[in-house]
Structures are given as structure tokens and as C-alpha cells.
Amino acid sequence: NAGVTQTPKFRVLKTGQSMTLLCAQDMNHEYMYWYRQDPGMGLRLIHYSVGEGTTAKGEVPDGYNVSRLKKQNFLLGLESAAPSQTSVYFCASRPLVNSPLHFGNGTRLTVT
């Protein structure tokens, strides 16, 4: 039982490049979330999903797109990376809306 797995762990992109971050959970959770964390700051919600095939915007959605084609996977896409997107990205999931979040170990993304 791996929990929440994020791929890749590290990535360096050049401005304008695109990439997809993968979040996979093996706990059959309905709800999934993408957060970003900048140095010295708390986590800010980018997008979230309340079930397979659904997505919704969070606090800082601009410049990102997401998809939840399968219940266990939540993908975060950057179509044209910018230096302002340099951050640590965390994925989380939970089975019910009033249950605790389970977090992955993060993806450290640098955009030069």
C-alpha cells in the first residue's frame, strides 16, 4: 500500500516548456488536491477534484490545467512554464470530505 505517489520527484524546465506532474493514490479515495508551496509560505490550493471526471479551481489555478480521467490518478499540467511556477508541488487525497488528507512527498520544480 504505497499511499500517495508523486512523479517525478525533481524537475528542471526552461521557460515555455510544458510538463505533466502525476499523482497516483491506491486508497480508492474520491477527493484529490494539488497544492503548491513557495519558500517560507503555506500551501496554496491550485485545483482539486471531488471524483473521477471532475475538476475544480482552487486558490491559484492560473497557468495550470488538471485532469482526473481515472479515480486513482490526478494530473497537473503546465502548458508553458514560467519562472513564477518554481515551487514544490504537493498532491493529496482523502476518502470523504470530512476526513484527513493524505499527502505525497512532493515534486520540486525549477523553471529557469
27 sits near another protein (criterion: CB under 8 A):
no
Cβ neighbours of residue 111 closer than 8 Å, sequence gap 6 or more: 12, 13, 14, 15, 81, 82, 83, 84, 85, 86
Amino acid identity of 79? E
User: In this complex, which beta carbon is closest to another protein, that of residue 28 or of residue 40?
Assistant: 40
CB of 16 to another protein, least distance (A): 27
Q: Which of 50, 53, 80, 95 binds another protein (CB under 8 A)?
A: 50
Q: Which of 14, 28, 69, 97 binds another protein (CB under 8 A)?
A: 97
Contacts to another protein by CB under 8 A: 4, 33, 35, 40-45, 48, 50, 56, 58-59, 88, 90, 92, 97-98, 100-106, 108
